[in-house]
Amino acid sequence: MGKRKLFNDPIYGLINFKSEFLYDLIDHQYFQRLRRIGQMGLTHFVYPGATHSRFQHAIGALYLMQSAVAVLKEKGIQISQEESDAMCAAMLLHDIGHGPISHSLERIIVDVHHEDISLAIMNLLNEEFNGRLSMAIEIFKGKYPRRFMHQLVSGQLDLDRLDYITRDSYYTGVAEGVIGYDRIISMIDVVDNSLVVEEKAIYSIQKFLVAREIMYKQVYLHKTSISAEVMLRQYFKRLKYLAKLDGNALAGLTFSEEMKYFLKKNVSKLDKMDLIKFLHLDDNDIYVLLKSSVSHQDFIIRDLSTRLLGRKLFKAKVSSQVIASDFKKNVRQKVNETLNIGDEISDWYIIEGKESICTYSPDNEEIKFLRKDGHVFDLSYISPEFNFLTIIDRYFLCYPA
């Protein structure tokens, strides 16, 4: 088979890919790094099975893209081999910019969004592969003239969402996230350069949108997951604070040179040197650092790392409404008395914030359906309940109980 190896995916079964270039990308060390990046951050603290990787998700999303291209070609949509390879490459590399523990440490290690890092890595790979990713980069950025190609990579009904909802549902055991991804893909088409879905798939699309909303409410924004992730972010912020305060404050900790570099430097824009260093980091760096922190001289670093490794998580008050000031005042007083600490330290222990996600945005780009007579209509035309922004807000207050 040469490079055309088989992947035994627990969801899609035995899969392989048509382009040898895709295997060159898969075999590259930058992509292989995704094996060591967890797909769902610290969600395994709640759902023990959720230990799958970004690598698995990217391979799955690539498989769905290859399937979607085949369906569109069968329906008479002209897609050249170069375009097909570019669409698949853009899908494969869409998450390559994720850092350690995925979204949990988003913009903490470096103050750059993972999609911007993905684009920077794609540009770096494009240099190495002599421009073979140029079209994929245009599709990823939404600059390529055939709009539906970008919509399949990043849109209301993109293949990224179809895979991660299906995959995360499988590994968490949350059956409410099961969707008919194969039926949805078989029903896609293109009209006026935009992605549409055949009208008979309307119920599959409704199920997909409901499942996505449930997964965010039940899994991604679970209060225990929020607690674990804000504790990890707080731990990292404390490390950076100490590194800036005192050059010797990190003595005794175990970390790579790359991790030490980012702890001591605030990076809001990645140059090529920064990017190469970032690509050396994965989840292992975080766990090694946490393990070495349990005997650190700083009380907060020592305590947070011990709690995270032992899953002694902060209590989380989570609400769809802003949390009352009286409640927060009582919490602060109780924490200060229980831990015998002052306000300066308790500021590191009482963490307030907001998590928000838009699960469907018709104002941005509404899902469109194709009737047999060729007429195209919006989802809200037949399902008015979807004619609004579906936003999930979670206000939280995390503190040691």
Tokens 């404390």 correspond to 238
What is d(CA 34, CA 56) in angstroms, rounded to the nearest whole number?
A: 8
Burial environment of residue 5 by CB neighbours within 10 A (0 to 12, 13 to 18, 19 or more) = exposed
What is d(CA 102, CA 119) in angstroms, rounded to the nearest whole number?
A: 16
Mind spelling out the 3-state secondary structure of 13-81?
A: EEECCCCHHHHHHHHCHHHHHHHHCECCCCHHHCCCCCCCEHHHHHHHHHHHHHHHHHHHHHCCCCCCH
Closest C-alpha among 96, 89, 19, 3 to residue 57: 96
Strands 194-198 and 368-370: parallel
Under DSSP, the state recorded for 314 is: P
What is d(CA 37, CA 117) in angstroms, rounded to the nearest whole number?
A: 15
φ/ψ of residue 162, rounded to 5: -60, -40
| Tens digit of pLDDT at every position of the chain (401 positions) | 446 789 999 999 999 998 999 999 999 999 999 999 999 999 999 999 999 999 999 999 999 999 999 999 999 999 999 999 999 999 999 999 999 999 999 999 999 999 999 999 999 999 999 999 999 999 999 999 999 999 999 999 999 999 999 999 999 999 999 999 999 999 999 999 999 999 999 999 999 999 999 999 999 999 999 999 999 999 999 999 999 998 789 999 999 999 999 999 999 999 999 999 999 999 999 999 999 999 999 999 999 999 999 999 999 999 999 999 999 999 999 999 988 888 888 999 999 999 999 988 887 788 999 999 999 999 888 777 776 668 899 999 999 98
CB atoms within 10 A of CB 344: 7
Set out the domains of the chain in order of their start, with CATH numbers: 7-220+365-392 (1.10.3210.10)
Mind spelling out the 3-state secondary structure of 145-189?
A: CCHHHHHHHCCCCCHHHHHHHHHHHHHHCCHHHCCCHHHHHHCEE
Spatial contact of 309 and 289, defined as CB atoms under 8 Å apart: no
Could you tell me if residue 240 is left (phi over 0), alpha (psi between -120 and 50 degrees) or otherwise beta? alpha
Spatial contact of 171 and 177, defined as CB atoms under 8 Å apart: no
- pTM comes to 0.96
Could you tell me if residue 146 is left (phi over 0), alpha (psi between -120 and 50 degrees) or otherwise beta? beta
